[in-house]
Homo-oligomer: A and B are copies of this chain.
Amino acid sequence: MNREALFQQIRKKKSFLCIGLDTDIYKLPAHLLAEEDPVFAFNKAIVDATHHLAVAYKPNLAFYEVAGPEGWESLAKTVESIRKTDTGIFLIADAKRGDIGNTSAMYAKTFFQTYDFDAVTLSPYMGLDTVSPFLAYQGKWAVVLALTSNKSASDFQYLTDRETGLNLFESVLKTAQNWGSTDQVMFVVGATRAEALKRVREIAPDSFLLVPGIGAQGGSLGEVARYGMNDRCGLLVNSSRGIIYASAGADFAQKATASAEKLQKEMETYLRQKGLV
């Protein structure tokens, strides 16, 4: 899926919502634990209840890896099921991998061939070598960490380069844009630093941004839209816990629909204001 196709999905659904599948077996509604694969059953119910409101899903790999081989079975079934349910979905592996050479090539193969993802989150610390094997896949994306939403993001991401005067996250945005086109590379920019989105847009006006940190982490959707939206929307805003754990009871799917719908309606407003729908 290229940038224009992703924008068309956003227009169609009047939404730039990404739903994070951080599915924790210890947080599932009790009645699902009788299922053969409770994690998959939960994910399927969430996707069935929300896919008309979301353009993307983002399984968080840590939550699958922790269960051992069975976790990867749940992930595989989830990916397959999403593909069947809605062919327009953009599917992101939130894996934050970052290695080089043949190792990086193996990770690309993992997420683009073994599993049918459209995109993978990657750490830029080792530079282009981390990302280039992913860009060899037609129609697939590298989602590069730039400015993250956590407290210790400032440990290194705000260090200022003596030569260019750019902070590290600004150097990443500037450099990584040259690694691939805006059809291949997008960036992670945390919503808790919405004012920083203004600066991000000066450096990367056309790139899609994956924005976590809405909801549980305290970011404001209005601020993100105000500073981050471009003429192709250019935003995928993620919410995880606020949607998938909206209720811990038997009504979790209905409550997930309601939470996703609330965000979608707000997103539709911003898309209209910008004349994009």
Interface residues of A (CB under 8 A from B): 22, 24, 60, 62-63, 65-70, 72-73, 76, 96-104, 106-107, 109-110, 114-115, 123-130, 145, 148, 150-157, 159-163, 165, 168, 171-172, 175
Contacts and interface: CB of A to CB of B under 8 A. Distances in A.
Contact of A145 (B62, B125, B129, B159): B125
A40 B228 CA distance: 48
A150 B171 contact: no
A172 B160 contact: no
Given A76-B69, A162-B161, A99 B99 contact: no
Contacts of A152: 100, 126-130
B124 A125 contact: yes
A73 B67 CA distance: 12
Given A66-B106, A69-B76, A161-B162, A129 B156 contact: no
Nearest to A101: B150
Q: How many copies does the complex hold?
A: 2
Given A72-B68, A109-B66, A160-B161, A127 B150 contact: yes
A215 to B, nearest CB: 14
Given A100-B152, A129-B151, A162-B162, 9 more contacts: A60-B103, A65-B72, A65-B106, A66-B114, A69-B73, A98-B123, A125-B145, A125-B156, A127-B150
A120 to B, nearest CB: 12
Given A97-B96, A106-B65, A123-B125, A159 B157 contact: no
A104 B65 CA distance: 12
Contact of A114 (B67, B96, B107, B125): B67
A110 B65 contact: yes
A109 to B, nearest CB: 5
A171 B50 CA distance: 44
Contact of A104 (B62, B110, B127, B172): B62
B69 A99 contact: no
The 8 closest A-B pairs by CB, nearest first: A127-B152, A127-B155, A62-B106, A69-B69, A128-B152, A100-B150, A69-B72, A123-B123
